[in-house]
Amino acid sequence: MAPSLEEPTQVDLDAPLKAAPKLVAPEPEHCPGPESQQAGVADSCAGCPNQKICASAPKGPDPDIPLITSRLSSVAHKILVLSGKGGVGKSTFSTMLSHGFASNPLFTVGLMDTDICGPSIPKMMGVEDETIHVTAEGWEPVWVSDNLGVMSVQFMLPNRDDAVIWRGAKKNGLIKKFLMDVVWGELDFLVVDTPPGTSDEHLSVNSFLKEAGVDGAVLVSTPQEVSLLDVRKEIDFCRKAGIRILGIVENMSGFVCPGCKHQSQIFRPSTGGAERLAQDEGIPFLGKVPLDPRIGMACDYGESFLDAYPESPACQAIRGVVQRVGEQIGLKKGDVLPEE
Amino acid sequence: MPLDNIRNIVLVLSGKGGVGKSSITTQLALTLSLQGHSVGVLDIDLTGPSIPRFFGIEDSKVHQAPGGWIPVPVHDAQTLTPPSTHAANNGDAQTQIGALSCMSLGFILSSRKDAVIWRGPKKTAMVKQFLTDVLWPPLDYLLIDTPPGTSDEHISLLENLLKQTAAPTSPPNQLAGAVVVTTPQAISISDVKKELNFCKKTGIRVLGVVENMAGFVCPNCSECTNVFSKGGGEIMARDFEVPFLGSVPIDPAFVQLIEEGTRPVYPQGTVVGGKDMAETNGGSDGAKEELLVDKYRSCSLCPLFDGIVATLVADIRSRDV
């Protein structure tokens, strides 16, 4: 007998949050999605045990979308961090971007981790052991500093090594709850870190935020073609979904040997790297960030790399990128990362 | 059952993306083939398939046959002559290598730029199809490369595999277990721990942990830098009481082999010792025609994987009795 793959019930997500009806069977292969307008009436719905439920469910826009929109109306800029490839530094870059924006005390920054199966943000921010507080208003994010708040599924796990074995639909429910119920308050920036790929999480973040308006997406890649290949798919995704691309960052670009100062390309940009890709696709190139072992160390210890090694070339490069992101969303140069 | 002519199935898993699952899968496949086993590689990373790129067969397409898809062959079973300069060194006789073939969604997409934007149910159906509708030749090993995480693809992969391997017609102990890949830094370890818990929950045996990207040897001064720190994988393996298979350093020559198809060349005095100048100055045309598996034998990682694979094979065989 095969062991069952029951979903763990560690987070209470059964509170009413979906306009989608409760289904009696798993969604079939070509399911238009129980939330969609075609639910129950599409060709592929014929024969599905859910057909009746979907067809009779109230139509019209998801009543939760206006809630999300009003909740996020106090957020000035929303930035997605995307990459088709895993492990290229999306989370690292998201934390850098947040720390970078938050270094101006006039800004308040939120960082939301939508990677549900492999959340890294809490560890990188040094708030791994925190849990979230529920108030009458909703869920309180975890505040790393006075003006930098973080939200991640990791905060809700009773045991931090637990695997979250969830199918797409359940992940969408949680992301929606994050957007709807987290009390961000007045924010200047909300940085949304995503898992790799072009699937459920990305689709739902996009559809939930469409009304509220997203400034755009920052794509992260490493220089080698294996990674660029997946990033091309992400560009295609952004175009199809109508997300503006703020630009592309090349991470892990070159490594300077601490012994002999010789620069080597660990991940060779054999096809011209992200810069060439940006040129070909006509999207802004935000800069190259060299590989520095101290970045990884800073992340492991949950420190801000920008504060810890402000003089390093990698830090300079990151500051440049953060500034360029700021320019792309229409901020003045002096506003982001003011010179000390 | 469609997987009946496969002797052993090995999964390559990691909770974290970009730690080198596909790279490790590729090298395991090449090494198994070099040891004379027939190998198949199934890539179930649907939104970011990398296997076609790794084997240099991006332009290949899958053929449809009555009853299913025919996987893309990388090379047939054949005899390799020893690499020219090494022949004198280790007195290798000719090597019998096993056939190698691959299946990936990348072979089915019309353009490599196209995004596969699928929700869970569609991915579930595709994974199922990959497991039921691929006409594999008789294989000693089927390696399954997975996307990061513990979600739709993994759930359906395991549901289907467990169902199929439990069937009375399938070989005993067909589902050998999982190789878990990590990088040494704590961020990666914390995600990979989740994957180990996933294996525990689903009853998949962990064949071992491979620590990838452990150290980088500067090609200029041969100094080894731990770019992503070191030793985390071994500690994690000990904590979870699973075997530790080894640390794999970053080798730019391997990346170059994959990206450009050039036979790895090392400066005098590195691990492999000796140069293969004869092959490399013959121009790219000559080098391209050689088999990937042949060129891989010149890579410094090859002996390392030889050891890892030998351990794996011995472990799997000991269970078969």
Q: Is B130 on the interface with A (CB under 8 A)?
A: no
* Between A75 and A11, residue with greater pLDDT: A75
Q: Does B59 touch chain A (CB under 8 A)?
A: no
ipTM of the complex: 0.83
pLDDT in tens, A68-115: 999 899 999 999 999 988 889 999 999 999 999 999 999 999 999 999
The reply to whether B231 touches chain A by the CB within 8 Å rule is no
Which single residue is written with the structure tokens 């549900």? A116
* DSSP letter, residue B137: P
* Token pair 């991915």: residue: B123
Shortest distance between the Cα of A332 and any Cα of chain B, in A, equals: 34
Task: Specify the pLDDT at position B199.
Answer: 93
Q: Does B48 touch chain A (CB under 8 A)?
A: yes
% of residues, chain B, pLDDT over 90: 53
Phi, psi for B51 (deg, rounded to 5)? -55, -45
| The pLDDT value given to residue B285 | 42
Cβ contacts of B317 within 8 Å, gap of 6 or more: none
Q: Give the pLDDT of residue A11.
A: 30
Task: Using an 8 Å CB-CB cutoff, list chain A residues near B197.
Answer: 161-163
Is A29 in Cβ contact with B186 (below 8 Å)? no
- pLDDT at position B120, please? 86
* B139-145 and B216-217 beta bridge pairing: unpaired
Chain A hits for B260, CB-CB cut-off 8 Å, are: 268, 270
Q: In chain B, what residues touch A260 (CB-CB under 8 Å)? A: 218, 220-221, 223
How confident is residue A158, by pLDDT bands cut at 50, 70 and 90? confident
Higher pLDDT: B269 or A26? It is A26
Position A45 scores a pLDDT of 81
Average of pLDDT values for A286-291? Answer: 93
Fold of B6-320: Rossmann fold (3.40.50)
Does A160 sit within 8 Å of B190, measured CB to CB?
A: yes
pLDDT at A93: 94
A5/B17 Cβ within 8 A? no
Q: At what angle do helices B21-34 and B301-320 cross, to 10 degrees?
A: 80
For the segment A193-230, what is each residue's pLDDT rounded down to a tens digit? Answer: 999 988 888 988 888 888 888 999 999 999 988 899 89
Q: Tens digits of per-residue pLDDT, B227-258?
A: 887 888 999 999 999 999 999 998 888 888 98
Least confident of B95-99, B184-188, B283-287: B283-287
DSSP A250-294: E-S--EE-TTT--EE-SS--TT-HHHHHHHHHT--EEEE--B-HH
Joined together, the tokens standing for residue A324 give 């360029």
Please tell me the predicted confidence (pLDDT) of residue A4. Answer: 27
Contact A254, A288 (CB under 8 A): yes
Say if the Cβ atoms of A229 and B112 lie within 8 Å.
yes
B40 contacts B130 by C-beta, under 8 angstroms: no
Q: What is the pLDDT of residue B119?
A: 83
Cβ atoms B12, B145 nearer than 8 A: yes
DSSP percent split of chain B into helix, strand, coil, nearest 5 = 40, 20, 40
* Minimum-distance CB partner of A165 among B150, B196, B258: B150
Model pLDDT, residue B274: 40
Structure tokens at B100: 């190698």
For residue B121, give the nearest of A5, A31, A262 by CB distance: A31
**Cβ-Cβ contacts under 8 Å, A202 against chain B:** 117
The mean per-residue pLDDT over the stretch B291-308 comes to 91
Question: What one-character DSSP code corresponds to residue A26?
Answer: P
Q: What tokens appear for A300 in the block?
A: 């492991």
Where b means 16+ CB within 10 Å and e means fewer, A289-316 reads bbbbbebbbbbbebbbbbeebeebebbe
| Residue A316 in this model has a pLDDT that exceeds 50 | yes
**Encoded tokens for A209:** 């935020």
What size, in residues, is chain A? 340
CB contact under 8 A, A161 and B18: no
The shortest C-alpha distance from A63 to chain B (Å) reads: 22
- Confidence (pTM): 0.87
Nearest by CB to B117, which of A2, A203, A267? A203
pLDDT number for residue A95: 95
Using a 10 angstrom Cβ sphere, with 0-12 exposed, 13-18 middle and 19 or more buried, the burial of residue A244 is middle
Domain boundaries, chain B: 6-320
Q: Is B16 on the interface with A (CB under 8 A)?
A: yes
Please name each of the domains of chain A with its CATH number.
Answer: 76-331 (3.40.50.300)
B283 pLDDT more than 80: no
Tell me the β-bridge partners of B65: B68
Give B35's pLDDT tier (boundaries 50, 70, 90).
very high
Picking from B149, B105, B110, the residue whose alpha carbon sits closest to that of residue B127 is B105
Q: Tokens for B90?
A: 């280790």
**Gap from B291 CA to chain A (nearest CA, Å):** 20
CB contact under 8 Å between A296 and B152, yes or no, is no
* φ and ψ at residue B292, rounded to 5 degrees: -55, -40
CA distances from A117 to A165, A174, A306, B146, B188 (A): 7, 12, 27, 14, 12
pLDDT higher than 70, residue A14: no
List residues forming the annotated binding site of A: 31, 45, 48, 54, 84-91, 257, 260
Spell out which residues of chain B touch residue A118, defining contact as CB-CB under 8 Å: 15-17, 148-149, 191, 194
- CB pair distance less than 8 Å for A118 and B17: yes
Q: Is A282 left (phi over 0), alpha (psi -120 to 50) or beta?
A: left
Mean pLDDT of chain B: 86
* Residue B198 forms contact with A (CB below 8 Å): yes
Among the listed residues A44, A149, A142, A229, the one whose alpha carbon sits nearest the alpha carbon of residue B104: A229
**Quick check: A287 and A317 in contact, CB under 8 A?**
yes
Contact between chains at A200 and B198 (C-beta distance less than 8 A) = no
Q: How confident is the model at residue A274 (pLDDT cuts 50, 70, 90)?
A: very high
Residues of B (156-195) whose Cβ lies below 8 Å from A: 158-159, 162-163, 166, 183, 185-188, 190-191, 193-195
* Burial classification of residue B199, based on how many CB atoms lie within 10 Å of its CB (0-12 exposed, 13-18 middle, 19 or more buried): buried
CA distance to A29, B106, B110, per residue, from B66 (Å): 22, 21, 21
Per DSSP, the three-state class of B42 is strand
The 10s digit of each residue's pLDDT in B36-62 is 999 999 999 998 899 999 999 999 988
CA atoms within 13 A on the CB side of B152: 28
Task: Name the burial class of residue A24, with classes exposed (0-12), middle (13-18) and buried (19+) by CB atoms within 10 angstroms of its CB.
Answer: exposed
Q: Shortest CA distance to B51 belongs to which of B132, B135, B153, B146?
A: B146
- Answer whether A268 sits within 8 Å of B122, measured CB to CB: no
**Residue B205 contacts A, CB cutoff 8 Å:** no
- List, for residues A175-202, the tens digit of each pLDDT value: 988 898 999 999 999 999 999 988 888 9
Q: Please report residues of B whose CB lies closer than 8 A to that of A2.
A: 159, 162-163, 166
More confident residue, B85 or B248: B248
Q: How does residue B280 score in pLDDT terms, banded at 50, 70 and 90? A: very low
Highest mean predicted confidence (pLDDT) among A34-38, B144-148, B268-272: B144-148
pLDDT of residue A338: 67
